[in-house]
Amino acid sequence: MKLKSNIATSESGFVFNPTSGDSYSANAVAAEIMLLLKENNSIKEIKQIMLSRYEVDSSHFEKDLDDFIAQLRDQNLLEL
Amino acid sequence: MTNLMLSPIELVIAVTGLNAIDSPGPGVSVIRAIRDCKDFKVRIVGLSYESLEPGIYMHDIVDKTYQIPYPSAGTESLLNRLTEINIQEKIDVLIPNFDAELHNFIKISDALLKIGIKTFLPSHEQLDSRDKINLSEFGKKNNFDVPADKILYRMEDLPMAAKELEFPIVVKGKYYEATVAYTLEQAQKAFLKLQAKWGLPIIVQQFISGTEINIAALGDGEGNAISVIPMRKLYITDKGKAWAGVTLEDDSLIDMAKRFIEITKWRGGFEIEIMRSPEGVLYIMEVNPRFPAWIYLTAGAGQNQPAALVKMAIGEKVIPFTNYQVGKIFIRYAWDLITDIQEFQQISAFGEL
């Protein structure tokens, strides 16, 4: 699972897809996850990193992460 | 001491399309791009049709403007007027920017060259090949996706065409304007309005939903693409014009424009209007045979197409651009220019300002 290499992201959460021209605003946690995806971390690694950073229920986080990944896929932001 | 610094070339460039209004002509954008190029020192001669084209009064953009006859007056009166203007101005390059005037300018391009005015225009055959009337056939012949259409000369044929294409349909004028019609009544109303404004035929086209993308491109007339810049409309006016847009990175769009140039051997600037369907199919909606009004974005993104056209017009060899900045945005704005009634009187009464 990897963000497409040409997707521009910023720490503020602004995301720009230069192929479609679409832009998005990600919240702080989503921006952090996108950065981890960009650094080629696997979903499993992202889960571990985020759970070590935040006090959050593991199953709850996993569901939210799955939803977020599905959104990224829907928006064509992930490598196939 | 000898000054080894090379001076920029001094050129007089005539430009039409000074109507920088809500549905703007490309002239002011073309001029801004040319003025940005440090290789020229230019005097800009505006050529206008109406007295309230804003570019006439933008004296830091246009040095002097002359009115020219409407395209319907024919080529003889156009050539006579340009010859008269040329005695004063000694024009080097002329860039027409309206679809409706191109036929005449192409027709007199040899005569213009004889009096020293260079153009860089497509041929009549190239112009006709991408005409709305022929676009569907052009697409079939050259393997481009183009929406199905019907060319209508009588309103009585509208119901049958609408039945075949299925509502909604797009009703388009010969030169400009298009309306999406969801019922036969709406289609008939649009037909009559467009017929009154632009004449016949009327083009009725299959409606394609998706993302609107435009491509500005420049061909050298030998099949080579000098520049291709794709742009996604970010904000669209009620007339369907881009009010803001962003440059895109998409090889499929660039390849499409390059293939168009290769097939047509297009000479000059043009714009391809694309609709990308949800399935990713790139439909060519229209090909406009001149620079679009957003052409200044090409200069902003690093491929100054109007300046490259001027260089080719004066016989310089231009190497195709390879890079541009993706994510460059243009945002159009309205600006109230204050002028005096004397200026309006001058252009209205004497045909020059």
β-strand partners of A9: A15
pLDDT digits (tens, 9 = 90+) for B47-100: 999 999 999 999 999 999 999 999 999 999 999 999 999 999 999 999 999 999
Buried b (16+ CB within 10 A) or exposed e, A63-76: eebeebbeebeeee
pLDDT of residue B176: 81
In tens, the pLDDT along B120-162 reads 999 999 999 998 889 999 999 999 999 999 999 999 999 999 9
What's the burial of B163, exposed, middle or buried (CB within 10 Å: 0-12/13-18/19+)? exposed
Q: What is the pLDDT of residues B270-322, one digit of tens each?
A: 999 999 998 899 999 999 999 999 999 999 999 999 999 999 999 999 999 99
The contacts of residue B331 (CB under 8 Å, 6+ apart) are B235, B243, B244
Checking if the pLDDT of A1 tops 80, the result is no
Give yes or no for residue B1 having a pLDDT over 70. no
Question: Does the structure show a pLDDT above 60 at B3?
Answer: no
Residue B78 C-alpha, separation from nearest chain A C-alpha, in angstroms: 42
Contact (Cβ atoms closer than 8 angstroms) between residue B148 and residue B165: yes
Two tokens, residue A42: 């696997």
Which chain A residues touch B246 with a CB distance below 8 Å?
21
Cross-chain Cβ contact B326/A20 below 8 Å = no
A8 to chain B: closest CA residue:
B327
Residue B4 scores a pLDDT above 60:
no
Q: Are B306 and B34 in contact (CB under 8 A)?
A: yes
Model ipTM value: 0.78
Higher pLDDT pick, A62 / A11: A62
Q: Residues 6 or more apart from A67 whose CB is under 8 A from it?
A: none
Q: What are phi and psi for residue B242, nearest 5 degrees?
A: -75, 130
Helix ranges, chain B (H): 27-36, 75-89, 99-107, 109-114, 124-129, 135-142, 158-165, 184-198, 251-264, 296-300, 305-313, 341-350
CB contact under 8 Å between A19 and B211, yes or no, is no
Tokens (6 digits) for B325: 């900045």
* Confidence at residue B12, expressed as pLDDT on a 0 to 100 scale: 98
- Any CB–CB contact under 8 A between B232 and chain A? yes
Q: How far apart are CA B275 and CA B180, in angstroms?
A: 15
Question: Searching chain B, which residue's CA lies closest to the CA of residue A75?
Answer: B278
Tens digit of each residue's pLDDT (9 = 90 or more) over A7-57 = 998 888 999 999 999 999 999 999 999 999 988 899 999 999 999 999 999
The reply to whether residue B327 touches residue A6, judged by beta carbons under 8 angstroms, is: no
Q: Is A24 on the interface with B (CB under 8 A)?
A: no
| pLDDT at site B175 | 78
pLDDT digits (tens, 9 = 90+) for B171-220: 999 878 889 999 999 999 999 999 999 899 999 999 999 999 999 999 99
Q: Cβ A19–B248 below 8 Å, yes or no?
A: yes
The model's pTM is 0.90
For β-strands B202-206 and B225-236, DSSP reports them as: unpaired
- Going from the C-alpha of B186 to that of each of A12, B176, B181, B225, B338, the distances in angstroms are 47, 18, 5, 41, 40
**What is the pLDDT confidence band of residue B44, given thresholds at 50, 70 and 90?**
very high
Segment holding B233, helix H or strand E: strand B225-236
Partner A contacted by B345 (CB < 8 A): no
Q: Bridge partners of B13?
A: B44, B93
Give the tens place of pLDDT for each residue, B21-33: 888 999 999 999 9
CA angle B48, B33, B44 (to 5 degrees): 40
A19 contact B CB<8A: yes
Sign of the Cα pseudo-torsion (B28, B236, B134, B282, in order): positive
